A and B are shown apart, each in its own frame.
Chain A
Protein backbone atom coordinates (compact mmCIF):
# COMPACT_ATOMS: atom_id res chain seq x y z
CA UNK A 1 0.00 0.00 0.00
CA UNK A 2 1.37 3.43 -0.84
CA UNK A 3 1.33 5.97 1.93
CA UNK A 4 -0.49 9.22 1.39
CA UNK A 5 -0.08 12.00 3.85
CA UNK A 6 -2.50 14.48 2.41
CA UNK A 7 -4.85 14.48 5.35
CA UNK A 8 -3.75 17.68 7.08
CA UNK A 9 -3.65 20.88 5.10
CA UNK A 10 -0.05 21.54 4.13
CA UNK A 11 0.11 24.76 6.12
CA UNK A 12 -0.91 23.15 9.38
CA UNK A 13 1.51 20.26 9.16
CA UNK A 14 4.34 22.68 8.43
CA UNK A 15 3.42 24.96 11.30
CA UNK A 16 3.04 22.22 13.94
CA UNK A 17 6.74 21.57 14.58
CA UNK A 18 7.31 25.26 15.18
CA UNK A 19 5.36 25.08 18.43
CA UNK A 20 7.45 24.39 21.50
CA UNK A 21 6.86 20.77 22.55
CA UNK A 22 5.18 21.44 25.86
CA UNK A 23 1.93 23.12 24.77
CA UNK A 24 0.83 20.40 22.40
CA UNK A 25 1.88 17.72 24.86
CA UNK A 26 -0.33 19.51 27.40
CA UNK A 27 -3.22 19.52 24.96
CA UNK A 28 -2.74 15.84 24.22
CA UNK A 29 -2.53 14.90 27.91
CA UNK A 30 -5.65 16.97 28.58
CA UNK A 31 -7.54 15.34 25.71
CA UNK A 32 -6.48 11.85 26.73
CA UNK A 33 -7.59 12.46 30.30
CA UNK A 34 -10.96 13.76 29.15
CA UNK A 35 -11.25 10.69 26.98
CA UNK A 36 -10.46 8.35 29.86
CA UNK A 37 -13.16 10.22 31.74
CA UNK A 38 -14.91 8.06 34.23
CA UNK A 39 -14.51 4.76 32.48
CA UNK A 40 -10.82 4.25 33.26
CA UNK A 41 -9.56 4.53 36.83
CA UNK A 42 -6.28 6.54 36.91
CA UNK A 43 -4.61 3.64 38.79
CA UNK A 44 -4.44 1.81 35.48
CA UNK A 45 -1.74 4.28 34.52
CA UNK A 46 0.40 3.64 37.62
CA UNK A 47 3.15 1.85 35.66
CA UNK A 48 3.55 5.03 33.59
CA UNK A 49 4.48 7.17 36.60
CA UNK A 50 8.07 8.37 36.37
CA UNK A 51 8.25 7.16 32.76
CA UNK A 52 8.61 9.19 29.63
CA UNK A 53 6.77 8.28 26.48
CA UNK A 54 7.43 10.00 23.17
CA UNK A 55 4.69 9.97 20.55
CA UNK A 56 6.07 10.86 17.15
CA UNK A 57 3.86 11.90 14.29
CA UNK A 58 6.33 11.03 11.61
CA UNK A 59 4.95 12.98 8.67
CA UNK A 60 4.23 16.12 10.70
CA UNK A 61 7.68 16.03 12.33
CA UNK A 62 5.88 16.42 15.61
CA UNK A 63 6.66 14.83 18.95
CA UNK A 64 4.57 14.67 22.10
CA UNK A 65 6.06 13.81 25.49
CA UNK A 66 3.86 12.17 28.05
CA UNK A 67 4.02 10.56 31.46
CA UNK A 68 1.44 10.00 34.17
CA UNK A 69 0.62 11.10 37.71
CA UNK A 70 -2.14 10.08 40.12
CA UNK A 71 -4.72 11.98 38.10
CA UNK A 72 -3.92 10.49 34.71
CA UNK A 73 -1.69 11.43 31.78
CA UNK A 74 0.60 14.46 32.12
CA UNK A 75 2.71 16.41 29.65
CA UNK A 76 6.47 16.09 30.03
CA UNK A 77 9.43 17.99 28.68
CA UNK A 78 11.39 17.05 25.61
CA UNK A 79 13.98 14.35 26.14
CA UNK A 80 16.49 12.52 24.00
CA UNK A 81 16.01 9.32 25.96
CA UNK A 82 12.34 8.43 26.38
CA UNK A 83 11.48 5.06 27.90
CA UNK A 84 9.22 4.35 24.95
CA UNK A 85 8.79 5.88 21.51
CA UNK A 86 5.68 5.26 19.43
CA UNK A 87 5.74 6.56 15.87
CA UNK A 88 3.21 6.61 13.04
CA UNK A 89 1.82 8.97 10.44
CA UNK A 90 -0.85 11.49 11.35
CA UNK A 91 -3.38 9.59 9.30
CA UNK A 92 -2.65 6.32 11.03
CA UNK A 93 -2.84 7.93 14.48
CA UNK A 94 -6.18 9.51 13.62
CA UNK A 95 -7.51 6.23 12.29
CA UNK A 96 -6.35 4.50 15.46
CA UNK A 97 -8.20 7.09 17.53
CA UNK A 98 -11.29 6.60 15.38
CA UNK A 99 -11.06 2.83 15.90
CA UNK A 100 -10.83 2.29 12.18
CA UNK A 101 -7.57 0.35 12.24
CA UNK A 102 -6.06 -2.06 14.69
CA UNK A 103 -2.73 -1.16 16.28
CA UNK A 104 -1.28 -4.66 15.88
CA UNK A 105 -2.13 -4.65 12.16
CA UNK A 106 -0.31 -1.34 11.72
CA UNK A 107 2.58 -2.76 13.67
CA UNK A 108 2.78 -5.96 11.59
CA UNK A 109 2.66 -3.77 8.46
CA UNK A 110 5.52 -1.63 9.84
CA UNK A 111 3.38 1.52 9.82
CA UNK A 112 3.48 1.82 13.60
CA UNK A 113 6.91 1.83 15.16
CA UNK A 114 7.49 1.09 18.81
CA UNK A 115 10.89 1.25 20.45
CA UNK A 116 11.83 0.87 24.10
CA UNK A 117 9.65 -0.43 26.93
CA UNK A 118 7.14 -2.67 25.14
CA UNK A 119 5.16 -3.27 28.32
CA UNK A 120 4.36 0.46 28.55
CA UNK A 121 3.34 0.54 24.90
CA UNK A 122 0.93 -2.34 25.41
CA UNK A 123 -0.48 -0.72 28.52
CA UNK A 124 -1.19 2.56 26.71
CA UNK A 125 -2.74 0.73 23.79
CA UNK A 126 -4.97 -1.36 26.02
CA UNK A 127 -6.02 1.55 28.22
CA UNK A 128 -6.99 3.67 25.21
CA UNK A 129 -8.75 0.69 23.61
CA UNK A 130 -10.89 0.27 26.73
CA UNK A 131 -12.49 3.67 26.31
CA UNK A 132 -15.92 3.64 24.74
CA UNK A 133 -15.54 5.19 21.28
CA UNK A 134 -18.65 7.30 21.69
CA UNK A 135 -16.77 9.22 24.38
CA UNK A 136 -13.77 10.03 22.23
CA UNK A 137 -13.39 13.80 21.83
CA UNK A 138 -11.76 13.20 18.45
CA UNK A 139 -14.80 11.39 17.22
CA UNK A 140 -17.00 14.28 18.20
CA UNK A 141 -14.68 17.04 17.10
CA UNK A 142 -13.53 15.85 13.70
CA UNK A 143 -15.78 17.07 10.93
CA UNK A 144 -17.40 14.24 9.00
CA UNK A 145 -15.81 15.27 5.69
CA UNK A 146 -12.33 15.01 7.20
CA UNK A 147 -13.17 11.57 8.60
CA UNK A 148 -14.40 10.52 5.18
CA UNK A 149 -11.16 11.70 3.60
CA UNK A 150 -9.14 9.81 6.16
CA UNK A 151 -11.11 6.67 5.44
CA UNK A 152 -10.78 7.19 1.70
CA UNK A 153 -7.01 7.40 2.15
CA UNK A 154 -7.04 3.79 3.27
CA UNK A 155 -8.38 2.41 0.02
CA UNK A 156 -6.36 4.56 -2.40
Chain B
Protein backbone atom coordinates (compact mmCIF):
# COMPACT_ATOMS: atom_id res chain seq x y z
CA UNK B 1 0.00 0.00 0.00
CA UNK B 2 1.41 3.37 -0.91
CA UNK B 3 1.67 6.08 1.71
CA UNK B 4 0.35 8.86 -0.50
CA UNK B 5 -2.89 10.57 0.34
CA UNK B 6 -5.87 9.05 -1.41
CA UNK B 7 -7.85 11.90 -2.92
CA UNK B 8 -11.59 12.14 -2.32
CA UNK B 9 -13.71 11.33 -5.34
CA UNK B 10 -16.22 14.20 -5.53
CA UNK B 11 -19.21 13.42 -7.76
CA UNK B 12 -22.11 15.51 -9.04
CA UNK B 13 -25.81 14.96 -8.43
CA UNK B 14 -28.71 16.94 -9.86
CA UNK B 15 -31.32 14.87 -8.08
CA UNK B 16 -31.77 12.13 -5.51
CA UNK B 17 -31.43 9.13 -7.85
CA UNK B 18 -28.12 10.55 -9.09
CA UNK B 19 -26.90 11.09 -5.53
CA UNK B 20 -27.73 7.51 -4.66
CA UNK B 21 -26.00 6.28 -7.83
CA UNK B 22 -22.87 8.26 -6.89
CA UNK B 23 -22.83 6.84 -3.35
CA UNK B 24 -23.55 3.29 -4.56
CA UNK B 25 -20.70 3.47 -7.06
CA UNK B 26 -18.10 4.67 -4.59
CA UNK B 27 -18.14 8.47 -4.39
CA UNK B 28 -16.50 9.85 -1.24
CA UNK B 29 -18.43 13.10 -1.57
CA UNK B 30 -21.45 14.14 -3.60
CA UNK B 31 -22.03 17.79 -4.41
CA UNK B 32 -25.52 19.15 -4.95
CA UNK B 33 -27.36 22.46 -5.29
CA UNK B 34 -30.71 23.82 -4.14
CA UNK B 35 -33.56 24.53 -6.51
CA UNK B 36 -32.81 28.19 -7.19
CA UNK B 37 -30.16 30.60 -8.42
CA UNK B 38 -27.90 30.02 -5.41
CA UNK B 39 -25.86 27.54 -7.44
CA UNK B 40 -24.29 27.52 -10.88
CA UNK B 41 -26.54 24.81 -12.37
CA UNK B 42 -29.91 26.51 -11.96
CA UNK B 43 -31.82 24.49 -14.58
CA UNK B 44 -35.56 23.83 -14.75
CA UNK B 45 -36.49 20.70 -12.84
CA UNK B 46 -32.98 20.11 -11.52
CA UNK B 47 -31.64 20.12 -7.97
CA UNK B 48 -32.70 19.51 -4.38
CA UNK B 49 -35.39 20.88 -2.08
CA UNK B 50 -35.14 20.47 1.71
CA UNK B 51 -36.75 17.01 1.74
CA UNK B 52 -34.56 15.62 -1.01
CA UNK B 53 -31.48 17.07 0.69
CA UNK B 54 -32.44 15.51 4.01
CA UNK B 55 -32.89 12.12 2.37
CA UNK B 56 -29.66 12.55 0.40
CA UNK B 57 -27.68 13.37 3.54
CA UNK B 58 -29.20 10.38 5.33
CA UNK B 59 -28.39 8.06 2.43
CA UNK B 60 -24.84 9.33 1.99
CA UNK B 61 -23.99 9.32 5.69
CA UNK B 62 -25.31 5.78 6.10
CA UNK B 63 -22.75 4.73 3.48
CA UNK B 64 -19.94 6.83 4.95
CA UNK B 65 -20.08 9.43 2.17
CA UNK B 66 -20.35 13.21 2.50
CA UNK B 67 -22.72 15.74 0.97
CA UNK B 68 -21.43 19.14 -0.16
CA UNK B 69 -23.78 21.94 -1.15
CA UNK B 70 -22.77 24.43 -3.84
CA UNK B 71 -23.92 27.98 -3.00
CA UNK B 72 -21.51 29.33 -5.50
CA UNK B 73 -23.20 32.17 -7.32
CA UNK B 74 -23.05 35.85 -6.44
CA UNK B 75 -25.96 37.43 -4.53
CA UNK B 76 -27.18 40.88 -5.52
CA UNK B 77 -28.43 43.60 -3.21
CA UNK B 78 -32.09 42.74 -3.69
CA UNK B 79 -31.83 38.99 -3.13
CA UNK B 80 -29.10 38.54 -0.51
CA UNK B 81 -31.56 36.98 1.93
CA UNK B 82 -32.00 33.92 -0.29
CA UNK B 83 -28.30 33.09 -0.01
CA UNK B 84 -28.29 33.57 3.76
CA UNK B 85 -31.29 31.26 3.99
CA UNK B 86 -29.50 28.70 1.83
CA UNK B 87 -26.48 28.75 4.18
CA UNK B 88 -28.74 28.35 7.23
CA UNK B 89 -30.68 25.58 5.53
CA UNK B 90 -27.46 23.70 4.69
CA UNK B 91 -26.37 23.90 8.31
CA UNK B 92 -29.78 22.79 9.57
CA UNK B 93 -29.89 19.81 7.19
CA UNK B 94 -26.53 18.56 8.42
CA UNK B 95 -24.55 18.71 5.18
CA UNK B 96 -20.79 18.28 5.46
CA UNK B 97 -19.59 21.42 3.72
CA UNK B 98 -20.78 24.36 1.67
CA UNK B 99 -19.02 25.53 -1.46
CA UNK B 100 -19.07 29.31 -1.92
CA UNK B 101 -17.51 32.06 -3.98
CA UNK B 102 -18.99 35.34 -2.72
CA UNK B 103 -16.96 37.12 -0.03
CA UNK B 104 -19.99 38.35 1.89
CA UNK B 105 -21.47 34.90 1.96
CA UNK B 106 -18.19 33.32 3.08
CA UNK B 107 -18.08 35.86 5.89
CA UNK B 108 -21.70 35.18 6.87
CA UNK B 109 -21.15 31.42 6.94
CA UNK B 110 -17.91 31.74 8.91
CA UNK B 111 -19.57 33.88 11.58
CA UNK B 112 -22.93 32.18 11.79
CA UNK B 113 -21.90 28.54 11.36
CA UNK B 114 -18.19 28.32 12.14
CA UNK B 115 -18.41 24.54 12.60
CA UNK B 116 -19.67 23.99 9.02
CA UNK B 117 -16.79 23.38 6.61
CA UNK B 118 -16.32 26.02 3.93
CA UNK B 119 -14.92 25.29 0.48
CA UNK B 120 -13.92 27.93 -2.02
CA UNK B 121 -15.83 27.33 -5.25
CA UNK B 122 -14.24 27.23 -8.67
CA UNK B 123 -16.47 30.24 -9.36
CA UNK B 124 -14.24 32.17 -6.96
CA UNK B 125 -11.55 31.89 -9.67
CA UNK B 126 -8.60 31.62 -7.29
CA UNK B 127 -5.69 30.65 -9.52
CA UNK B 128 -2.76 31.30 -7.16
CA UNK B 129 -1.88 30.44 -3.58
CA UNK B 130 -1.86 34.02 -2.34
CA UNK B 131 -5.58 34.28 -3.04
CA UNK B 132 -6.28 30.89 -1.50
CA UNK B 133 -4.31 31.71 1.65
CA UNK B 134 -6.18 34.98 1.91
CA UNK B 135 -9.50 33.12 1.86
CA UNK B 136 -8.11 30.82 4.53
CA UNK B 137 -7.02 33.65 6.82
CA UNK B 138 -10.19 35.64 6.38
CA UNK B 139 -12.88 32.97 6.19
CA UNK B 140 -11.23 29.78 7.40
CA UNK B 141 -11.78 27.83 4.21
CA UNK B 142 -10.71 24.18 4.38
CA UNK B 143 -10.60 23.48 0.66
CA UNK B 144 -10.30 25.34 -2.63
CA UNK B 145 -11.41 24.12 -6.06
CA UNK B 146 -9.01 25.21 -8.79
CA UNK B 147 -10.29 26.53 -12.13
CA UNK B 148 -9.77 24.29 -15.15
CA UNK B 149 -7.17 26.60 -16.67
CA UNK B 150 -4.02 25.76 -14.74
CA UNK B 151 -1.24 23.55 -16.03
CA UNK B 152 -0.04 20.67 -13.85
CA UNK B 153 3.05 22.65 -12.91
CA UNK B 154 0.86 25.53 -11.79
CA UNK B 155 -1.38 23.22 -9.78
CA UNK B 156 1.69 21.84 -8.03
CA UNK B 157 2.96 25.33 -7.32
CA UNK B 158 -0.33 26.23 -5.64
CA UNK B 159 -0.45 22.97 -3.71
CA UNK B 160 3.09 23.45 -2.34
CA UNK B 161 2.38 26.89 -0.92
CA UNK B 162 -0.83 26.38 0.97
CA UNK B 163 -2.21 24.20 3.74
CA UNK B 164 -5.68 24.52 2.25
CA UNK B 165 -6.84 21.25 0.68
CA UNK B 166 -6.76 21.46 -3.10
CA UNK B 167 -9.49 20.01 -5.30
CA UNK B 168 -9.08 19.76 -9.08
CA UNK B 169 -11.39 18.81 -11.91
CA UNK B 170 -10.79 15.30 -13.19
CA UNK B 171 -13.51 14.72 -15.72
CA UNK B 172 -16.33 16.43 -17.58
CA UNK B 173 -17.17 19.34 -19.80
CA UNK B 174 -14.62 22.09 -19.97
CA UNK B 175 -15.12 25.67 -18.94
CA UNK B 176 -12.14 27.45 -20.34
CA UNK B 177 -12.45 31.11 -19.38
CA UNK B 178 -11.41 30.89 -15.72
CA UNK B 179 -14.97 29.97 -14.79
CA UNK B 180 -16.18 32.81 -12.58
CA UNK B 181 -14.53 35.42 -14.74
CA UNK B 182 -16.28 34.38 -17.93
CA UNK B 183 -18.70 36.89 -19.40
CA UNK B 184 -19.38 35.14 -22.72
CA UNK B 185 -22.77 33.79 -21.72
CA UNK B 186 -23.87 37.11 -20.25
CA UNK B 187 -22.70 38.83 -23.43
CA UNK B 188 -25.04 36.80 -25.62
CA UNK B 189 -27.93 35.97 -23.28
CA UNK B 190 -27.76 38.45 -20.40
CA UNK B 191 -27.29 35.54 -17.96
CA UNK B 192 -24.08 33.93 -16.77
CA UNK B 193 -23.11 31.38 -14.12
CA UNK B 194 -22.15 34.03 -11.62
CA UNK B 195 -25.23 36.22 -12.05
CA UNK B 196 -28.02 33.72 -12.64
CA UNK B 197 -26.49 30.34 -11.96
CA UNK B 198 -26.48 29.24 -15.57
CA UNK B 199 -24.22 29.36 -18.61
CA UNK B 200 -26.10 29.56 -21.91
CA UNK B 201 -29.61 29.18 -20.41
CA UNK B 202 -31.84 26.68 -22.22
CA UNK B 203 -34.47 29.32 -22.89
CA UNK B 204 -31.96 31.07 -25.16
CA UNK B 205 -31.01 27.88 -27.00
CA UNK B 206 -32.48 26.84 -30.34
CA UNK B 207 -31.65 23.60 -32.15
CA UNK B 208 -32.77 23.44 -35.75
CA UNK B 209 -32.33 20.95 -38.52
CA UNK B 210 -31.57 22.80 -41.74
CA UNK B 211 -30.46 21.81 -45.21
CA UNK B 212 -26.89 22.64 -44.19
CA UNK B 213 -26.94 20.54 -41.01
CA UNK B 214 -28.07 20.70 -37.40
CA UNK B 215 -27.72 24.28 -36.17
CA UNK B 216 -27.41 25.45 -32.60
CA UNK B 217 -28.16 29.07 -31.82
CA UNK B 218 -27.86 31.04 -28.63
CA UNK B 219 -30.25 33.98 -28.58
CA UNK B 220 -30.23 33.87 -32.36
CA UNK B 221 -26.42 33.80 -32.64
CA UNK B 222 -25.25 30.79 -34.65
CA UNK B 223 -22.92 28.79 -32.41
CA UNK B 224 -22.29 25.73 -34.53
CA UNK B 225 -23.56 23.76 -37.50
CA UNK B 226 -23.06 20.00 -37.37
CA UNK B 227 -22.87 17.71 -40.37
CA UNK B 228 -24.77 14.45 -39.95
CA UNK B 229 -21.77 12.45 -38.78
CA UNK B 230 -20.52 15.08 -36.31
CA UNK B 231 -21.09 14.88 -32.58
CA UNK B 232 -22.98 17.76 -31.03
CA UNK B 233 -21.93 19.73 -27.96
CA UNK B 234 -23.46 22.16 -25.47
CA UNK B 235 -24.17 25.41 -27.31
CA UNK B 236 -21.84 27.64 -25.30
CA UNK B 237 -20.12 30.54 -26.99
CA UNK B 238 -16.69 29.28 -25.92
CA UNK B 239 -17.24 26.09 -27.95
CA UNK B 240 -18.66 27.72 -31.06
CA UNK B 241 -17.17 27.47 -34.52
CA UNK B 242 -16.18 30.87 -35.79
CA UNK B 243 -15.01 32.34 -39.04
CA UNK B 244 -11.60 33.84 -38.45
CA UNK B 245 -10.01 35.20 -41.60
CA UNK B 246 -10.87 32.61 -44.25
CA UNK B 247 -11.09 29.71 -41.87
CA UNK B 248 -14.07 28.43 -39.90
CA UNK B 249 -13.02 26.50 -36.81
CA UNK B 250 -13.23 26.19 -33.03
CA UNK B 251 -11.38 29.40 -32.39
CA UNK B 252 -11.64 29.37 -28.59
CA UNK B 253 -11.96 25.74 -27.54
CA UNK B 254 -12.82 22.42 -29.13
CA UNK B 255 -15.92 20.81 -27.67
CA UNK B 256 -14.26 17.96 -25.81
CA UNK B 257 -14.40 16.47 -22.35
CA UNK B 258 -11.64 16.87 -19.85
CA UNK B 259 -10.30 13.47 -18.85
CA UNK B 260 -7.31 13.28 -16.52
CA UNK B 261 -7.21 9.55 -15.78
CA UNK B 262 -3.67 9.46 -17.13
CA UNK B 263 -2.56 12.22 -14.75
CA UNK B 264 -3.73 10.44 -11.59
CA UNK B 265 -0.30 9.26 -10.37
CA UNK B 266 1.04 12.77 -10.82
CA UNK B 267 -1.92 14.38 -9.01
CA UNK B 268 -1.59 11.94 -6.14
CA UNK B 269 2.14 12.49 -5.87
CA UNK B 270 1.47 16.20 -5.51
CA UNK B 271 -0.91 15.50 -2.64
CA UNK B 272 -4.11 16.75 -4.25
CA UNK B 273 -6.94 16.24 -1.74
CA UNK B 274 -9.89 15.76 -4.03
CA UNK B 275 -10.82 15.09 -7.64
CA UNK B 276 -14.03 16.53 -8.92
CA UNK B 277 -16.30 15.16 -11.63
CA UNK B 278 -18.30 17.76 -13.54
CA UNK B 279 -21.96 17.31 -14.48
CA UNK B 280 -24.78 18.07 -12.06
CA UNK B 281 -26.95 18.59 -15.17
CA UNK B 282 -26.32 15.01 -16.33
CA UNK B 283 -28.47 11.99 -15.59
CA UNK B 284 -28.13 9.10 -13.18
CA UNK B 285 -26.63 6.84 -15.84
CA UNK B 286 -23.76 9.30 -16.38
CA UNK B 287 -23.09 9.68 -12.67
CA UNK B 288 -23.10 5.91 -12.14
CA UNK B 289 -20.81 5.20 -15.09
CA UNK B 290 -18.28 7.93 -14.40
CA UNK B 291 -18.16 7.33 -10.65
CA UNK B 292 -17.59 3.61 -11.13
CA UNK B 293 -14.63 4.17 -13.47
CA UNK B 294 -13.00 6.84 -11.31
CA UNK B 295 -13.42 4.79 -8.13
CA UNK B 296 -11.54 1.93 -9.76
CA UNK B 297 -8.88 4.23 -11.16
CA UNK B 298 -8.20 6.01 -7.87
CA UNK B 299 -8.09 2.75 -5.92
CA UNK B 300 -5.81 1.13 -8.49
CA UNK B 301 -3.47 4.10 -8.57
CA UNK B 302 -3.37 4.36 -4.80
CA UNK B 303 -2.48 0.69 -4.41
CA UNK B 304 0.37 0.79 -6.89
CA UNK B 305 1.08 4.21 -8.38
CA UNK B 306 4.21 3.03 -10.19
CA UNK B 307 2.53 0.33 -12.19
CA UNK B 308 -0.67 2.30 -12.80
CA UNK B 309 -1.88 2.36 -16.39
CA UNK B 310 -5.16 3.69 -17.71
CA UNK B 311 -7.26 0.68 -18.70
CA UNK B 312 -8.87 0.59 -22.12
CA UNK B 313 -12.20 -0.39 -20.61
CA UNK B 314 -12.23 2.76 -18.47
CA UNK B 315 -11.71 4.95 -21.52
CA UNK B 316 -14.41 3.13 -23.48
CA UNK B 317 -16.87 3.72 -20.64
CA UNK B 318 -15.96 7.40 -20.35
CA UNK B 319 -16.00 7.92 -24.12
CA UNK B 320 -19.65 6.96 -24.13
CA UNK B 321 -20.61 9.96 -22.04
CA UNK B 322 -18.12 12.59 -23.19
CA UNK B 323 -19.23 15.89 -24.63
CA UNK B 324 -18.10 15.99 -28.24
CA UNK B 325 -17.08 12.36 -27.58
CA UNK B 326 -13.42 13.08 -27.46
CA UNK B 327 -11.03 13.69 -24.62
CA UNK B 328 -8.43 16.22 -23.73
CA UNK B 329 -6.06 16.90 -20.87
CA UNK B 330 -7.18 20.51 -21.11
CA UNK B 331 -4.81 23.06 -19.66
CA UNK B 332 -3.12 20.51 -17.38
CA UNK B 333 -1.00 19.47 -20.30
CA UNK B 334 0.94 22.58 -21.22
CA UNK B 335 4.50 21.47 -20.82
CA UNK B 336 5.87 24.90 -21.68
CA UNK B 337 4.22 26.53 -18.67
Contacts and interface: CB of A to CB of B under 8 A. Distances in A.
B14 A110 contact: no
A116 B203 CA distance: 10
Contacts of A47: 44
A122 B226 contact: no
Interface majority SS on A: helix, strand, loop or mixed? Answer: helix
Interface in A95-116: 99-105, 107-110, 113-116
Contacts of A6: none
Given A102-B283, A102-B321, A105-B320, A130 B202 contact: no
B286 A102 contact: yes
Nearest to A98: B285
B232 A130 contact: no
B107 to A, nearest CB: 33
B322 interface: yes
Q: What class of interface size applies to chain A in its complex with B?
A: 20 to 34
A108 B208 contact: no
B210 to A, nearest CB: 11
A114 B43 CA distance: 17
Contacts of A114: 207
Nearest to A133: B17
B285 A123 contact: no
B283 A103 contact: yes
Contacts of A100: 285
B182 interface: no
B322 A126 contact: no
A109 B17 contact: no
B232 A123 contact: no
B321 A131 contact: no
B71 to A, nearest CB: 20
B285 A101 contact: yes
A122 B320 contact: no
A86 to B, nearest CB: 11
A26 to B, nearest CB: 23
Interface in B251-293: 281-286, 288-289
Interface string A36-49: 00000000100100
A127 B47 CA distance: 10
B231 interface: yes
B17 A129 contact: yes
A121 interface: yes
Contacts of A14: none
B203 A118 contact: yes
Given A44-B45, A118-B202, A122-B202, A129 B286 contact: no
A125 to B, nearest CB: 7
A119 B203 contact: yes
Interface in A61-110: 99-105, 107-110
Given A118-B205, A125-B45, 8 more contacts: A104-B281, A105-B320, A108-B322, A109-B325, A110-B232, A118-B206, A122-B202, A132-B16
